[in-house]
Structure 1
Amino acid sequence: MISLLRQKSFRDTASQVGFIGVLILLVVTFALTAKTNLDAQGMTSGFGFLERATGWGVSFSLIPFDTNDTYARVILVGLLNSLFLGAISLTLATVIGIGIGIMRVSGNKMAELIGTVYVEIFRNLPLLLQAFFWYAVLTTLPRPRDALEFGGVAFLNGRGAYLPGLNVTGFSVFLAAIALAVTVGLWLWLRSARRFARMAPHIKKAWSRGLWLGWAALAVALLWAGRIPETPLLSIPTLKGLNFRGGIRVSPELLTCIIAISVYGGAYIGEIVRAGFNAVGKGQSEAGHALGLSTWQTFTRIRLPLAIRAVMPMLINQYVWLFKSTTIGIAVGFVDFFMVISTSINQSGQTLELIAILMGGFLVINYSMAWVLNRVNDAIKLKGTQLRT
């Protein structure tokens, strides 16, 4: 025994086994303590409560829901709402961030000043504070009769934004948006991945057209399948009485979350994009000009692709962090995943089970998003130093 203790490999293995054993003991102890406390309070554990009716409704849902539906369905409602909010907010934040990043490296003094002021303001204010600010602004807008009008088809007032829309179910729109995101990812992969570098240009163009035509056909099929019976396909909001009828109503709560996350995330993404452009050597642009490329061609074919490759790992982290920020919806009353779980805990008392569902949901969503984006990063990143002798 003494000889074994003198062996470093035995001591290392024993310490690791002991550490794992202590962790298992702690987990078992916590589980038994929690079960004892729940039994003392007359509370049952397990996930059987998911089949019980909630008895309460939600203000926003992409799928049909009423008070007689189960806890499992209301959790699905919250999850889909968070995914919907995240998809819109991350897309808008990316567009804003790219625009701000370009402004900050444009060489135009006024554009650089505007970009710098934007970043310094919105990056340094807490996201929750910005959500409260935008909610206060949106809820103090004029009444429907005095709503702000945009082209006679879109309106903005204290009850939300009213936009032209299709008379289809929200779930069909959600599926079409997911299909669009997948199509964009495949298109970027086709254009940027090394394995397609030797593909003939006309074949690559044909594949690109096929992708977009396939998405268009799938989107039309999804929207047609989700069409609400006995209604016109296109609905334009019109003022009738004291409120608008028809079209799509975007509630102040949802609009607040979209604006706050997009503006806040755009400031961070703008700095990431600026760092990517600065990482591209001036010699690359000079070589493009020497080959006769215009400024726009140099930007789109040299600087932008190299900048995206340089910042993709940082963008992945930022996207994961921004999606977690969708939980601010509870502060303004938006029915997101976190709010549904919190309400379910208050109504059912199944705290441990619901927190486990919340943690598992965010873990699966963020890991899936990071995995997909990491595969994209592996496909487009440059190997080695790219030096040639």
Structure 2
Amino acid sequence: MLSLLRNKTVRDNAMQIGFVGGLVLLILIFIITARTNLEAQGMTSGFGFLNRATGWGVNFSLIEFTTSDTYFKVIWVGILNSMFLGAIALTIATFLGTLVGIMRVSGNKMAELIGTTFVEIFRNLPLLLQLFFWYSLLTSLPKPKQGISIFDVAFISGRGFYLPGLNVSGGYVFVVFLILVATISLALWIRLAKRFKRIPEVRKTMITRMLWLGFVVLTVVIFWLGRIPDTPLLNIPYLKGLNFRDGIRVSPELLACIIAISLYGAAYIGEIVRAGFNSVSKGQGEAGHALGLSPWQNFSRIKLPLAIRAVMPTLINQYVWLFKATTIGIAIGFVDFFMVISTSINQSGQTLELIAILMGGFLIINYSMAWVLNRVNDAIKLKGNQLRT
């Protein structure tokens, strides 16, 4: 026994086992204590409540939901709404942020001034304050009867934006959106990844076109399968009484969240993109000019790919942070994941279980997004040491 204790490996392993065992024991004591306290208050623990009807409704859902549906389904509604909001806001923020970053390094004084002004305004104002501002502005628009008409096919009012829509179930639309994101990601991967470097440009173009053709075919099939029976595929909103009918209603809550997160995120992404372009040495651009490349070719084939490789790790962190920012929707009544969990806690009293679901949901979503983007980063990053002059 003494000989074992004198062995450093045995002592180290024993200390690690003791530490892990202590943590496990502490967690078990916490669980037992929490269960005892809940039983003393007449509250049941466990996840059986997920099969109970909620008795309350939601004002925005991508899938059909009624008051008789279960807590499990309303949580799924919240997750889909948050993912929907995050996907739209992150896409717009990326586009605007890239544009702002390019403007700031363009060399054009007016473009640089506009880009700098945008960053300094939207980066330095709290996100929640921006959300309240846009929500107040959108709800102050004219009432439906005095709504702004856009060629009689779309309307703007204080109750939301009404757009032409498809008579397709929301779940099918969300699937098409996910396929669109996957198609764009695959097209960029084929264009930028080092493993496809030896593939001729003509073949890359053909593969990209095939991807987009597949997306169009899948979209048509999914929309046809998801079409609501006995209805036309396209419907146009129209005014009837005091409100608009048919079409797609983009609520002020959803629109305010999209605008606030997109502009706030674009200010940060713009700075990240600017740093990426500044990291590309002037010598590489000058080499492109010496080879006879046009300014656009020099930008698209030399500066942009190198800048994307430089900023990808930072962008991944920014995307994860921006998705977590979707929880601000609860401040104005948008039915996101956080709001659904909060309401469920008030209605059911299952606090620990619902908080665990909330934490687990965000961990899975953010980790999955980071994992995919990290794989993209591994595929496009330059291997080895890159010496710059």
Work out whether the TM-score is over 0.5: yes
Paired with 1:251 and 1:137, the residues of 2 have a C-alpha distance of 13
- 1:252-301: CA deviations, max 9, x gaps? 11111111110111111111101101011111111111111111111111
Q: By how many angstroms is 1:157 displaced?
A: 1.4
In the other structure, the counterpart of 1:32 is 32
The residue number in structure 2 matching 1:108 is: 108
Q: Distance in 1 between matches of 2:3 and 2:230?
A: 85
**1:154 aligns to what?**
154
Compared CA separation, residues 4 and 370, structure 1 to 2 (3 A)? same
Query: How many residues of Structure 1 are paired with residues of Structure 2 in the alignment?
Result: 388
Task: Using the TM superposition, give the Cα deviation of residue 8 of structure 1 relative to its aligned residue in structure 2, in angstroms.
Answer: 4.4
Determine the C-alpha separation between the residues in 2 that align with 1:173 and 1:252.
Answer: 20
The within-5 A match list for 1:1-389 is: 8-386=8-386
Q: Report the Cα offset of residue 363 of structure 1.
A: 0.8
Cα displacement string for residues 214-237 of structure 1 (whole angstroms, at most 9, x for unaligned residues): 111111111111112222222222
TM-score, reference length from structure 2: 0.96
Name the aligned partner's letter for residue 138 of structure 1: L
| Counterparts of 2:122 and 2:15, CA distance in 1 | 49
The one-letter code sitting in structure 2 at the alignment partner of 1:284 is: Q
Unaligned runs of 5+ in 2: none
Separation in structure 2 between the aligned mates of residue 275 and residue 55 of structure 1, nearest angstrom: 51
Q: Deviations over 1:116-147 (max 9, x none)?
A: 11111111111111111111111111112222
Residue 123 of structure 1 aligns to a residue whose secondary structure is helix
Give the Å deviation of 1:46. Answer: 1.0
Counterpart code for 1:313:
P
Runs of 4+ in 1 over 6 A off after TM superposition: none
Q: How far is 1:22 from its partner?
A: 2.1
Amino acid at match of 2:369: M
What code does the residue aligned with 2:302 have?
Answer: I
> Could you say if the C-alpha distance between residues 119 and 382 of structure 1 is closer, same or farther in structure 2, counting changes exceeding 3 Å?
same
In the aligned structure 1, how far is the partner of 2:370 from the partner of 2:356? Answer: 21
Measure the CA separation in 1 of the matches of 2:122 and 2:221: 40
Amino acid of the structure 2 residue aligned with 1:170: G
Shift of 1:4: 5.5
Deviation at 1:150? Answer: 3.4
CA deviation after TM superposition for structure 1 residue 5, in Å:
5.4
**Secondary structure of the residue that 2:149 maps to in structure 1?**
strand
In structure 2, what is the Cα distance between the partners aligned to 1:369 and 1:321? 11
Give the Cα separation in 1 of the matches to 2:151 and 2:265.
29
User: How far is the alpha carbon of 1:242 from its aligned partner?
Assistant: 2.1
**Structure 1-normalised TM-score?**
0.96
Q: Distance in 2 between matches of 1:311 and 1:161?
A: 35
Distance 1:301 1:151, change over 3 A: farther
Q: Distance in 1 between matches of 2:143 and 2:44?
A: 49
CA RMSD of aligned residues (A): 1.6
Identity percentage over the alignment? 73
* Distance (Å, rounded) in 2 between the aligned partners of 1:273 and 1:386: 20
Shift of 1:183: 0.8
